[in-house]
Amino acid sequence: MTVGVLLITHTGVGSSLLAAAAGILSTQPELTSAIEVPGNSDPDTVFEQALGQCRQFDQGNGVLVMTDLYGSTPSNIATRLPEHHNVVVISGVNLPMLVRALNYRTLPLDEVASKAASGGRDGVTMTIKRQAS
């Protein structure tokens, strides 16, 4: 079975990440989608939409929900989901995190979440160019 993946993000973020991941993986992953939350959205309406997506994507292994900015409206909507469905929520989604999650979706939900979180952390690096003396 495959873990579903749902992105709940600000407008333009989730769909762009899914498109980029599909390009990297050379396929449109099944059981994935993005819900993008405009600033004027009703959080309860978006929550019901997200819960419906989780129910649709869950084949028995649960759903990994990733959101872009902890404490924001999309994140607050996502963090309500585990009370109603078999969901793990991770904030701070980035492309390495998403690709890692999609590559390990046949693992149990907690392991997919762990792989995704480590991919997100490991995918952030910093290179400093020093001036020659």
Q: What is the pLDDT of residue 28?
A: 87
pLDDT-derived band at 130 (thresholds 50, 70, 90) equals: confident
Q: What is the pLDDT of residue 129?
A: 87
pLDDT in tens, 1-30: 899 999 999 999 999 999 999 999 999 899
**CB 54 within 8 Å of CB 87:** yes
pLDDT in tens, 81-117: 999 999 999 999 999 999 999 999 999 999 999 999 9
pLDDT-derived band at 132 (thresholds 50, 70, 90) equals: confident
Q: Tokens for 133?
A: 């003396």
Q: What is the spatial distance between Cα 99 and Cα 16, in angstroms, rounded to a whole number? A: 13
Phi, psi values for residue 106, rounded to 5°:
-85, -5
Q: How far is CA 9 from the centre of its chain?
A: 8
Q: What is the spatial distance between Cα 119 and Cα 28, in angstroms, rounded to a whole number? A: 20
Averaged pLDDT for residues 113-125: 96
Q: What is the spatial distance between Cα 121 and Cα 86, in angstroms, rounded to a whole number? A: 24
Q: What is the spatial distance between Cα 111 and Cα 94, in angstroms, rounded to a whole number? A: 18
Strand segments, DSSP code E, in 59-133 are 63-67, 87-91
Q: What is the pLDDT of residue 131?
A: 82
Domain ranges of the chain: 4-122
Q: Tokens for 107?
A: 């693992």
- At the top level of CATH, the class of 4-122 is alpha beta
pLDDT in tens, 42-90: 999 999 999 999 999 999 999 999 999 999 999 999 999 999 999 999 9
